[in-house]
Amino acid sequence: MQDVGVRGAGIRPMQPVPGRLPVGPEWSYEVDWSGIRLLADVEDGVLCLRTLEGDDVTARFPEFAPLADVVPDGLFDGEAVLLDAGQPSSLALFDRLRRADPRKARTLARARPAILMVYDVLRLYGVPLAARPLDERRATLGRLSLDEVGRIQVSPVYDDGPALLAGVREQGLPGVMARRRDTPYEADADGDWLRVVAPAEAPTAPTAATAVDLPTAEQPPAGPALSALSPSRPDPASGKVPRGRHSRRQEESPGLW
């Protein structure tokens, strides 16, 4: 993992670790989108997308360029997601990454646009945010209205981990990310960010499942929603929003989780 950007110097990407689902008010939960982890660094209105290995893949995802029009200076952590039959597809992402020709990438982006799911902000308008608690960073992210930018979306966060895990299991998604609400963004942090694999079988004691409304390839993401549970929303009084994400599997290639 490499440091990111001139003004992001010294920031190393935080990595989740595999673990069991933690439960408690100190945790927030997100869907494991099974995409390609990207760090989006916007400096002076110019966007640069890099993988965890430091590879520049900006030209491969032209549909994410409008991010720089809305936020001319910021460092974001997230992942690119491509759908196949309504499910996130690693194969489709591999195919996109193979297309080094910008013209071909633009053609693919028009025919099958990806979605950039953003779940953290580490710098904004020159102000470093990595040392601040996750709740505060997610509140800042929520105020940027990124969901209005074409193929950019803030990954929703939920309070009920067991319900979300049951929901992603039913829908065939990989699992859930759990993250401590009060922690800074630290690459060496141990146990503050967990990747929980969805079980193959339903738990013995049934849990009310949460249905995840996946975005579609044809329409800009309207925002994954829960039918049984709503994502956490900003607290108007505190300005904070409780919101989490992913550890790379051994069988996955560089750039994927």
Q: Which two three-digit tokens encode residue 222?
A: 């309207």
**What's the confidence (pLDDT) of residue 224?**
39
CA angle 117, 77, 54 (to 5 degrees): 115
Q: What is the mean pLDDT of each run of 10 residues along the chain (257 residues)?
A: 50 90 96 92 94 91 94 95 82 86 89 93 95 96 86 92 93 93 90 91 64 53 36 35 29 36
193-243 pLDDT, tens digit each: 999 998 877 665 556 666 666 554 444 433 333 333 334 433 323 333 222
Alpha carbon separation from 87 to 214, 222, 225 (Å, rounded): 8, 16, 15
pLDDT at 49: 94
Nearest to 120 by CA among 255, 246, 244, 257: 244
CA distances from 254 to 17, 33, 167, 176 (A): 16, 16, 28, 21
Predicted model pTM: 0.79
Cβ–Cβ under 8 Å, residues 37 and 246 = yes
